Amino acid sequence: MERGMVVAPQNDAAEVGARIFLAGGNAVDAAVATAFAQGVIDQMNCGIAGFGAGHVYLPKLGVHAVINFFAKAPLAVRPDMWRELLEYETRDGFGFVLKGRVNDLGYQSVAVPGTVAGLHGMHKLYGRLPWADVVLPAARMAEEGYRITQAVYEYWTKIENMGRVEVIDRLRFTPEYASLFFDGEGQPLRVGTTVKNPDYGRSLRALAGEGPDAFYKGALGAAIAKDFAARGGLLAAADLESYEAEWTPPVWGSYRGLRVAANPPPGCGAMLLRMLHILEHFDLKALGLNTPEYIRVVAEAMKRAQVIKDRDIGDPRFVDVPADSIFDPAAARADAEAIRRGEIARVPRATGPGEGADTTHLCTLDADGNTVTMTHTLGMQSGVITPGLGFMYNGAMAMFDPRPGRAQSLAPGKRRVSSLAPSILFKGDDPFLILGAPGGSNIPMGILQVILNVVDHGMSVVEAVNAPRFSATGDAIDIASRIPVLTCEALGAMGYQTIRSVLPYICARVHAIQVDGGRVTGGADPSTGGSVLSV
């Protein structure tokens, strides 16, 4: 690696980042350009009307910070506005199902977008190239066309049966969306078909020329506000005009002598750290990778952390997040002792009154040691495209708890809790493992297992992201098809329900860069068809 490395789920987006390195850009430039390109190629999962978090480490500048650009509830929301509509919480914990699906599809499902503010905030402080240079490659891609990949097609057509609106129905929701991705007979476009989206290209060119004001205060913002006012949406001009991304320090933990930095609430870095602190009390290598006892121990740590997330993690501006108890070594030790005794944790789920979902991720590293790990998303697609603008809006309102008085309940201006956990592990003062993932509620679970694979099992980063995974975001354990039925039967004998997927790769889609001495290696999750590009 002479100039830099990009790891991303989308090949063409990764190449945009690589070209930015060749043009003299740094890791921040490459990350921002890659993110804009991802929003074009994979606009079902991300884009300029989404949200996310970027974890930035720039050693020569003495910078180590997280920029949170989470979606906010519009000012028009009321804490109890959907209380009587609650039917149930999804099994994977990624959203609440309401009567009429008003929080999940359509104009009321859209929260205040943060992606443009977040990407500009990173670039304004730490980018090297002009702003237009990192935006225009995505604009040209939208105008000239890009191809539908196998991973995108499979995402469109898979059926989750979680209670959320299925992806294929989101694509059909508005004529503007359906016209992009369906043929004349109403069928989704085939793999390899070229899609052109000149409306999105024009929106991106407006951003390139005017900066974030075009989106939040200018012509784009005016068009957004007018559309939502006409169609009963909650989002309004005042929401856009008042939006700001937020820089914060990372939260810190440790694992087997490595220092671990992750994003703070309302992200889920704290959840990842709690799992690592629990599992440090076990000899995981001796248990053997993905043996029944290994899965039991790790899944129990996952469940206990999930309970903490659901109960305690929210927007710190609105709720008192009990950081001391989350990071308390005695509490992690007590969890480990309970797991050792064989106690089975239960994850409460809401019932009515009487992610899963995908995202995207990228990692960049340059020759100066600057690195960015960033996850950005729509949460789920709202199904809404404002005519003439070309981009899909987030469906982030589905993650707010419709029951008042809880950490994740609705409130005007409150930031949506997200499972995003872009993280960096340090060996001494130097980055050792830079990673993150898309994958809804499974994100911390996937990141956790890649860390364990590298640190406990001695795998390379490529082996670590390729290894079969499992997840416990609720009482059941979801298991990849490459883990045998024999293992599931053994777990059943221990009292666990297992749900064995037909898919070989589940539980988030982890992307990572490993720095070991002078050697830099990238790992792209194979289920995405992504790329590791070094220039």
The pLDDT value given to residue 245: 98
Query: Is pLDDT of 209 > 90?
Result: yes
Contact (CB, 8 A) for 280 and 339: no
For the range 159-164, what are the long-range contacts, defined as Cβ-Cβ under 8 Å and sequence gap of 24 or more?
Answer: 160/356, 162/90, 162/91, 162/92, 162/94, 162/356, 163/87, 163/88, 163/90, 163/91, 163/97, 164/90, 164/94, 164/95, 164/97, 164/104, 164/356, 164/357, 164/380, 164/398
Q: Is 509 helix (H, G, I), strand (E, B) or coil?
A: coil
Contact (CB, 8 A) for 232 and 108: yes
Average pLDDT value over all residues in the chain = 94
Query: Is pLDDT of 91 > 80?
Result: no
Candidates 454, 315, 390; CA nearest to 40 is 390
pLDDT digits (tens, 9 = 90+) for 93-116: 777 889 999 998 999 999 999 999
pLDDT digits (tens, 9 = 90+) for 124-166: 999 999 999 999 999 999 999 999 988 888 878 777 666 678 8
pLDDT digits (tens, 9 = 90+) for 267-295: 999 999 999 999 999 999 999 999 999 99
Q: What percent of the chain has a predicted confidence (pLDDT) above 90?
A: 83
Residue 308: how many CB atoms within 10 A of its CB?
A: 20
Residue 289: how many CB atoms within 10 A of its CB?
A: 16
Per-residue pLDDT band for 354 (boundaries 50, 70, 90) equals very low
pLDDT digits (tens, 9 = 90+) for 395-409: 999 989 999 999 999
- Pick the catalytic residue: 115, 149, 359, 473? 359
Mean pLDDT of 347-363: 70
The pLDDT value given to residue 191: 92
Contact (CB, 8 A) for 451 and 400: no
Mean pLDDT of 463-486: 97
HEC per residue, 81-133: CCHHHEEEECCCCCCEEEHHHCCCCCHHHCCECCHHHHHHHHHHHHCCCCHHH
The pLDDT value given to residue 353: 46
Per-residue pLDDT band for 358 (boundaries 50, 70, 90) equals low
Please give the domain boundaries of the chain with CATH numbers for all domains: 251-352+420-534 (3.60.20.40)
Query: Checking DSSP bridges between strand 498-500 and strand 477-479, what pairing results, if any?
Result: parallel
Active site residue 359: yes
Mean pLDDT of 302-319: 95
Mean pLDDT of 162-171: 80
Contact (CB, 8 A) for 54 and 66: yes
CA distance 224 to 393: 10
Mean pLDDT of 444-454: 98
CA distance 513 to 364: 8
Euclidean distance between the first and the last CA atom of the chain, given in angstroms as a whole number: 6
**DSSP per residue, 216-266:** HTSHHHHHHHHHHHHTT-S--HHHHHH---EEEPPEEEEETTEEEEEPPTT
The pLDDT value given to residue 355: 41
Query: Is pLDDT of 298 > 70?
Result: yes
The pLDDT value given to residue 157: 79
Contact (CB, 8 A) for 58 and 372: no
Q: Is 283 helix (H, G, I), strand (E, B) or coil?
A: coil
CB-count burial class (<10 Å; 0-12, 13-18, 19+) for 445: buried
